[in-house]
């Protein structure tokens, strides 16, 4: 099934003249595709667990593990956006074979954002108040841009599909809509909201404590 999906996607991209990573997966056995996609996800689980566990036990955030977790999430967002989402122009079978990846990836990214926010708090608490204000303003601006861009992206996908996409709570059912959850705008939104929470928390702490 996975192989058939990628063969169809690969044909579409070749017709469009686009050289993307899907071409590397065309013709591979389903089991090998499964190992490639979910092997990277298992690595992400290991990285995230080690990052969170290290913080819980030592009350400190390992900068190296945080950077590795950041790189993983960037790559995982790309995998879902580019490899696990069927373009609207392609007719796919019923269902979404990547639902487990979507759910696990969501929790991994949320976990990373929480640890990232704590890291930003640790930095801001040692700095002047104006830096916290700067973080808050920048985070609000980036969040606003991300939300507007995400709404435009959703509208573009909605117009390209031949059926209504429904609400965001039901997007996970369609393989055409995986990229609506995982794209550059939602990634920026997660990072900016993390910085916003960190900035507000530090500002309130310095103001009232």
Residues in the chain: 209
CB 76 within 8 A of CB 44: yes
Closest CA relative to residue 172, chosen from 87, 103, 93:
103
pTM reported for the whole predicted model: 0.82
Mean pLDDT of the chain: 81
CB 104 within 8 A of CB 174: no
CB 113 within 8 A of CB 52: no
pLDDT, tens digit, for every residue of 80-119? 988 888 876 666 666 788 888 899 999 999 999 999 999 9
Q: What is the pLDDT of residue 91?
A: 67
CA 19 to chain centre: 23
Interacting residues of 160 by C-beta distance below 8 A, sequence separation 6+: 88, 89
Q: Measured over all CA atoms, what is the biggest interatomic distance in the chain, rounded to whole angstroms?
A: 62
Q: CB neighbours (10 Å) of residue 138? A: 14
pLDDT, tens digit, for every residue of 14-23? 344 333 455 5
């Amino acid at each position: 099934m996975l192989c058939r999906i990628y063969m169809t996607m690969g044909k579409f991209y070749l017709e469009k003249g686009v050289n993307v990573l899907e071409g590397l997966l065309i013709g591979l056995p389903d089991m090998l595709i499964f190992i490639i996609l979910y092997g990277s996800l298992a690595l992400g689980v290991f990285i995230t667990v080690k990052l969170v566990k290290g913080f819980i036990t030592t009350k400190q955030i390992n900068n190296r593990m945080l950077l590795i977790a950041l790189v993983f999430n960037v790559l995982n967002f790309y995998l879902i956006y580019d490899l696990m989402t069927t373009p609207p122009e392609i007719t796919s079978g019923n269902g979404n074979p990547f639902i487990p990846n979507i759910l696990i990836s969501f929790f991994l990214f949320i976990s990373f954002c929480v640890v990232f926010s704590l890291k930003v708090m640790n930095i801001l608490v040692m700095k002047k108040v104006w830096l916290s204000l700067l973080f808050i303003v920048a985070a609000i601006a980036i969040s606003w841009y991300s939300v507007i861009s995400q709404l435009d992206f959703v509208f573009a996908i909605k117009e390209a599909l031949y059926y209504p996409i429904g609400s965001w709570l039901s997007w996970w059912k369609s393989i055409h809509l995986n990229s609506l959850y995982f794209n550059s705008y939602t990634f920026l939104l997660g990072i900016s909201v993390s910085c916003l929470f960190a900035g507000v928390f530090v500002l309130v702490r310095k103001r009232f404590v």
